[in-house]
Structure 1
Amino acid sequence: MATAASGGITAYSVKTKTKNVPMVDPVIDVKSGRYIATGTDGQGNKMAAILGKATAEAHIAAGNAKKGSGW
């Protein structure tokens, strides 16, 4: 589950097996009614996290993420 740590979106990195890795340049898309944040970690590995509607809108309003497709 994605959390808001120090204002940004964090997620679990499957490749490095570490928790709460900050996402670089996240984009939040709406697919099938779910809000999915996609981005990369500091090493360039792709990451994704599923967010709730309120959390996704809060990150976009704060400028932590960009709107993607499906809005």
Structure 2
Amino acid sequence: MATEKGSGITAYSVKTKTKNVPMINPVIDVKSGRYIATGTDSEGNKMAAIMGKATAEEHIKNGNAKKGSGW
């Protein structure tokens, strides 16, 4: 689940097993009605986070993420 820490998108890193890892260059896609942010962490590991419509639109409006496919 995505959380907002500061101004960027953060998520859980499965590989390093740490919470609230900042996502670098996130892209928010809409798949099956769900808003999914995908990006990488500082080490280059792929990350994904699911969020609601309001949160996704807020991140795009603030410039924290880019729009992907499905919009």
The TM-score range, normalised by the shorter chain, is over 0.9
Deviation for aligned residue 1:58: 0.1
Matches within 5 A, 1:1-71: 1-71=1-71
Amino acid at match of 1:36: I
Question: C-alpha separation between the residues in 1 aligned to 2:44 and 2:6?
Answer: 20
Amino acid at match of 1:6: G
**TM-score of the aligned structures, taking structure 1 as reference length:** 0.99
Q: Which runs of 5+ in 2 are unaligned?
A: none
CA-based RMSD: 0.3
Q: Which runs of 5+ in 1 are unaligned?
A: none
Deviation for aligned residue 1:4: 0.9
**Runs of 4+, deviation exceeding 4 Å:** none
Question: C-alpha separation between the residues in 2 aligned to 1:15 and 1:3?
Answer: 18
Query: In structure 2, the residue corresponding to 1:56 is in which secondary structure?
Result: helix
Identity value in percent:
83
